Structure 1
Amino acid sequence: MVILEIINRQKNGYFEVWLTNEEQQLYSRSELSALILSQADTEKCRVMFFLSGSEELLPNTEKLLIMNSGCR
């Protein structure tokens, strides 16, 4: 079962849509945008997509923390 994470931030002018790799394969972003915007209270609204990457989160987070701490 796939549950989309959509956050309504119309007061700020946009909706957030978070997609996993599986959801990216299942759904068309243009169709999702059209559906979401059809339900918006205002015409001046955007849809922002946040997409999962293809790499493992833990090792990349560790590398990022090490780089940001200056411990190379």
Structure 2
Amino acid sequence: MGRAMAVGGAGAVDDGKSSWPEVVGWDGFTAMIKIKADRQDVTIEFHTVGDNVAPDEDDHRVRIFLEHHVVAQTPVVG
């Protein structure tokens, strides 16, 4: 089951970054810190590879798919 985690605070910054290929292979927590440093306006969701997730789009969400606590695919906004 996925978990959403709102991290960050006031003064959200949208620098337009929409994907983080550099975090593939990182542990999920460190990847979340990097993504939030780049995009304070997004909410992070953690999922296990293979989880069923709703196909909806949300330009303030990033899903991180993990395998054994490691980022298994490029996180993207949406």
TM-score normalized with structure 1 length: 0.30
Higher relative contact order (CA 8 A, sep 6+): 2
TM-score normalized with structure 2 length: 0.29
Q: State which structure, 1 or 2, has the greater radius of gyration over its C-alpha atoms.
A: 1
Which has the larger helix fraction? 1
